[in-house]
Chain A
Amino acid sequence: MTDELTFAPKRIEVEAGTTVTWKNVGSIGHSVTAYGEEIPDGASYFASGDFESEQAASDAYPDEGNVTEGGSYEHTFETKGEYKYYCIPHEMNGMVGYVKVV
């Protein structure tokens, strides 16, 4: 997560069972928030702050789920398929990312 409002890299591919870590390497806070409708069927929802749903993550931001300077968030992907996620404050600036689990 960068001050240029990007997830870098934007797209990654990992094997099932991999733990992915997002680190904030810039100054300003971001969230990692999965789109509830854009994760594989049966996959567990993920979001910084460890919420059960996209709605819960959105409601709690910015008091929870904001990964500030130097902070990080991790999630282990078990279910194969494509995941799409975004940063709540910077979604409109195009700050979205993809994880493909194979």
Chain B
Amino acid sequence: MSSEPTETDEQQDPLAEHEQQLNDLLLDVEGPDAPDAESHLSGLGLDVSRRGLMKAGAAAGAIGAFAGCAGLQGGGANTEAKGGSGDVPDHMVPPGEHDEYYGFWSGGHSGEIRVMGLPSMRELTRIPVFNPEPAKGYGFDNETSEMLDDAGGYTWGDSHHPNLSETGGEYDGRYIFVNDKANGRVARVNLKYFETDAIVDIPNVQSVHGCCIQSPDTEYVFANGEFRTPLPNDGRDVNNPEEYVSLFSAIDPETMDVRWQVKVDGNLDIVDSDKDGRWVLSSAYNDEEGVEIEEMTKDDRDSVKAFDVPAIQELVDAGEGTEVDGIPVIDGTESSKHNSGDDPIVRYIPTPKSPHCVEVTPDGKYGMVAGKLSPTVSIIDIEKLESASDPADTIIGQPKVGLGPLHTTYDGRGNAYTSLFIDSQVVKWDIEAAVNAEKGSEEPILGKIDVHYNPGHIQAVQAMSSEPTGDWLVVLNKLSKDRFLPVGPIYPDNDQLVYIGNDKDNDAGGMELVSDHPVYPEPHDAVFAQKDKLDPATTWEPEDYEGEKEYISEDASTVERIDDSTVEVKTSVKRSEFGLRDFTVQEGDEVRLTATNIEGSKDIVHGMAIPEHNVNLALAPKDTREVTFTADKPGVYWIYCTYFCSALHLEMRSRMIVEPED
């Protein structure tokens, strides 16, 4: 073990380096005449800057939990949970009672969607999307394994941005759409069954970052291609980065086919739609089109892209696209002929470099682009996108909110909430005050609270629809550091629940931190809907798969040899019996197994596992699943139920008898 003085040296070095990075960054983004951008911890009762506090703490050897270049020590009087102050509703939901909201989290590396209740933050279920998952048998039956195979056959995805479908600007409870950053895909989750029912592997695109639906009626799903590659990426131009492009893709939400793509300059990042079905805004970086970080951040400005969707659709309909891998691609680069006239199809709006995210206000008036490297949020006036002769004029406000602004959300009362990654805070600010204030003003700020630590996405309830309800806010912190029992060197993230229903004239603007929740890394974003927006099925309705799969009743349980090497096995499943007590096949046979859970009672789920054959079906009541496998090892195999279904669950068996070849 190292001696104490050495540890202190080690702590100071990265801290000093981090300080220097911050100073360089601010100088770089704002110029030498930039006003002081440090935020202040007024809650300490002293006018102490965060960075000053951090330095002092380090000098005293007080920062034990310093972790990584972005880490900052939490502290200050406004960091503690204040759930007991009397005017914050209880976030604990009593036993047997339900939450008010559904929350849908992207699972990050797991490729799944996680469903939680708000405000309790209890995990209700998980929906596998890009990942095979045994409990729901996803990727084990023929239908879902073929869907995963057709979507590229990858065994993981990096899900980032879940989006609820809308009708009339309101969540309609039909679908969630979510992207896979790792493999350039978008999936659709059916909210009747909470099951992924389609995945599109987007042609010509390697990585999808931003993903959103078109408001108000989900006529398209949009996907931002982040990584620039040659078009098509088939080996041509690999050493000519100037030929690499990013593509913006429009997907049909019903067929999940890609309708068209738009080629743009720079890398596309996050995306959001206006509320009228016309403009879609994308944050972007690397307008320099560099391939190394120094090149990507060389210039002072990057351009947000505003896509005029009906105008693009018109060009596609007129056959103006160049077909690549079956998809019409429209040239939307800044120098394109489609952008040279008075009605460009893509407006390039310059913002301070490398901004992150766009979130449109629930009333559809503004798109907020957080500065990331700049301590500001740029407010884009959506109405001006059509009329402004200079796209820069569409930015009608630019409040200075704090260090590392990444994402913004809304309460429906005219307030915005922005996560501050570097400051480890949430800042609440007044939208109209920011529009009316000088650019760079801190006046619109209503309050700040510390969060733990380094927040990324931030979402208030129903803020992505036109019906924000403004009581709860979730902050998805990237680091948890000292907040939980240590569990080895890969830490959980920390999702924090904040009550925002009170607008108070205090340091926190009325925001109150209510609870911490460790999360398995790494969800990126979440979206929330009031419970009555959804109406999930409690059992399957067999007519929903009529003609695709055969419903196997008890009387229809049979074994039939189709040919020399193929056997069809059909079985019903109920408490506590499989419709077939046993079935016999020959070594080497292909077995086509169809199983129906004939139960009519909700929550009576059966499983059907066959040891040593990788067969694992999850059968909800009235559901039917098919699986095809080869019985290549002679012997007796005990088929068992994997869901505890009754007192005789353990005895619920069937036998597969595989007779040896002669």
Contacts and interface: CB of A to CB of B under 8 A. Distances in A.
Contact of B648 (A3, A29, A93): A93
Contacts of B554: 28-29, 62, 66, 68-69
Nearest to B622: A27
A40 interface: no
A27 B576 contact: no
Interface in B356-407: none
Interface string B589-621: 000000000111100100000000000000001
Contacts of A69: 553-554, 598
A90 interface: yes
Contacts of B575: 5, 28, 89-90, 93
Given A89-B575, A90-B575, A93-B646, A3 B601 contact: yes
B452 to A, nearest CB: 48
A89 B576 contact: yes
Interface of A: prevailing SS: loop
A69 to B, nearest CB: 7
A93 B622 CA distance: 21
A66 B598 CA distance: 14
Given A28-B600, A68-B554, A89 B577 contact: yes
B126 to A, nearest CB: 27
Interface in A46-69: 62, 66, 68-69
B543 to A, nearest CB: 15
A37 interface: no
B553 A3 contact: no
A68 B599 contact: no
A11 to B, nearest CB: 22
Contact of B600 (A27, A66, A92): A27
A67 to B, nearest CB: 10
A3 B603 CA distance: 12
A62 B510 CA distance: 66
A92 B555 CA distance: 23
Interface string B554-575: 1100000000000000000011
Contacts of B601: 3-4, 26
B647 interface: yes
A3 B575 CA distance: 10
Contacts of A5: 575, 646
Kindly list the 5 A-B residue pairs having the minimum CB-CB distance in the complex, ordered from nearest.
A27-B600, A28-B574, A3-B600, A3-B601, A92-B647
8 contacts: A5-B575, A28-B575, A28-B598, A29-B574, A62-B554, A89-B577, A92-B648, A93-B647
Given A27-B599, A29-B574, 5 more contacts: A5-B646, A27-B598, A62-B581, A69-B554, A90-B575
